[in-house]
Structure 1
Amino acid sequence: MIEIIAATIEDARRIEESGADRIELVSALSEGGLTPSYSLIKRVVQNVKIPVNVMIRPHAKSFVYTNEEIELMVEDIIIAKELNVNGVVFGALNINNEICIPSLEKLLNVCDGIDVTFHKAIDELTDPVKGIEILAAYGQIKNTLTSGGIGNILENTSVIKNMVERSKHINIIAGGGLNFENIKEIIIKTKAPQYHFGTVIRNGKSVFGEINTDALRLLINTIRK
């Protein structure tokens, strides 16, 4: 499973045309991805046939949210469901950089019928492996995006492999720093079932660059060989 970040309708079209499996739709890619507008969600879902998972993130300050911000996220999830998304992507921590269970459960309460990905907030934990064990208690969580913690993803392959082994029903998505040079090694060392790419397939490897379909097709072929 290959997931690619989209921030525009044209991004989404190029991702589908290149043969990727799923889109993660965001706004503000330069901020690591925030909740996209409802009209963008609607148009992207209408314009592609592959699954579209939508980022639910109200700000880029941290992954710690007030009660009011959680309520905003709940409403965003409800509207995203009405717009026929495949799933949503979120994460919530407390001030101790632990998974915030009350916030997580409030969000999951409105996620019936759609896939849920817990995003790279898990990399902020002291022990991401323990984090995946906590998340695995929730059947609604289908995926977790991770670099195996902070630092270079290549240095965290053993952590990602441990997460894969303890994730139960959750699909581990390896992402954050993947490129043409390291992807084969990461596949071999982690055995992750899914892979996530952002700027590496954009012109200039920039958050502001357009998706390069030739580069994306080459990447997909490299992974699937």
Structure 2
Amino acid sequence: MPGLLEVVVLTAEDARRAEEGGADRLMVVGGLTGQGTSPEPGAFARVRGACTIPVRPLLRLREGYRTDGGEVTRLHGLVTSYLAEGAEGFVLGFLDGYSQVDVEVVTELTGNAAWPWTFDHAIDHCIDVDQAWRTLRTMRGCDQVLTGGSSRGMAAGLEDLIARIRLDPQIAGLVLAGGGLVPEHVAWLGRVGVRAFQVGRQARPGRDFSAAVDSSLVRGWRILLDSLPQR
């Protein structure tokens, strides 16, 4: 299958340009300081209305990967709003006090859901990454794990991520590679079976989130992913 290209967007114009450049799916955020935060429902609705491809909003109300019961209630409300506006799935990632996947919170948000979800870069901050992968593979609805292989991103984590996939090739089907991704990484990851990639800054002039998505930059990534060997 051709590679899946996900683009991080903040606005309707970003969404339009990303689709024009050949994106397959969008991750919608409201702000991108630190780990990013959820978009306002109105902003999400504008993004959804500006494109025809699937969109997944981020579920996070504050910096970091921790949350609490009060925030979970608010997140449930956002889920309802996003679904009403046409969300295809969601992006989320929460850790407990031991820096492991917060199974209780994630299950509370996703356990009875009929939609797919991506576990985000929180996995790169787990104390026991092996256990995190085992946990996520058993969780209903988790169809992708956004990872750079390290909390420092793909430049530091590429080798470890490739080694992990070689030990367990089925992981390749869950990986959504992102976090400091550069074109050279795509070839290496493609060789071990990774077919899903996320770009954010890379789709913007100067790699600057204050600039709008550039459809020609997205198209360059589209061409690169289309050159991956078919599997």
Give the TM-score of the pair, scaled to structure 1: 0.90
Structure 1 residues without counterparts, runs of 5 or longer: none
CA RMSD of aligned residues (A): 2.0
Instruction: Indicate which of 92, 95, 106 corresponds to 2:94.
Output: 92
Instruction: Indicate which of 39, 45, 65 corresponds to 1:63.
Output: 65
Instruction: Indicate which of 44, 53, 60 corresponds to 1:41.
Output: 44
What one-letter code is carried by the residue in structure 1 that aligns with 2:11? T
State the 1:125 CA deviation.
0.7
Report Cα offsets for 1:10-30 as digits up to 9, x if no partner: 000001011111000111123
Report if aligned partners of 1:81, 1:114 keep a CA contact under 8 Å in 2: no
How high is the sequence identity, in percent, across the aligned residues?
22
Bigger relative contact order (CA 8 A; separation at least 6): 2
Matched, 1:197 2:213: no
In 2, the alpha carbon distance for the partners of 1:166 and 1:108 equals 26
SS in structure 2 at match of 1:29: coil
Instruction: Indicate which of 16, 25, 50 corresponds to 1:13.
Output: 16
State the 1:199 CA deviation.
0.2
Report if aligned partners of 2:18, 2:214 keep a CA contact under 8 Å in 1: no
State the 1:143 CA deviation.
1.1
In 1, the alpha carbon distance for the partners of 2:140 and 2:103 equals 14
In 1, the alpha carbon distance for the partners of 2:10 and 2:85 equals 17
Which residue number corresponds to residue 79 of structure 2?
A: 77
What one-letter code is carried by the residue in structure 1 that aligns with 2:98? N
Which residue number corresponds to residue 132 of structure 2?
A: 131
Which residue number corresponds to residue 175 of structure 1?
A: 178
State the 1:152 CA deviation.
4.1
Structure 2 residues without counterparts, runs of 5 or longer: none
Instruction: Indicate which of 192, 209, 213 corresponds to 1:207.
Output: 209
Report if aligned partners of 1:133, 1:166 keep a CA contact under 8 Å in 2: no
Report if aligned partners of 2:94, 2:101 keep a CA contact under 8 Å in 1: yes
Report Cα offsets for 1:193-222 as digits up to 9, x if no partner: 210111012011112111122122112112
State the 1:168 CA deviation.
6.2
1:142-181 equivalence runs, <5 A: 142-161=143-162, 162=164, 165=168, 171-181=174-184
Task: Indicate the larger mover: 96-105 or 27-36.
Answer: 27-36
Report if aligned partners of 1:143, 1:171 keep a CA contact under 8 Å in 2: yes
In 1, the alpha carbon distance for the partners of 2:171 and 2:69 equals 30
Give the TM-score of the pair, scaled to structure 2: 0.88
What one-letter code is carried by the residue in structure 1 that aligns with 2:100? E
Count residues with an aligned counterpart: 222
In 1, the alpha carbon distance for the partners of 2:218 and 2:126 equals 31
What one-letter code is carried by the residue in structure 1 that aligns with 2:57? V
**Structure 1 residue ranges (4+ consecutive) displaced by more than 4 angstroms after TM superposition:** 166-170
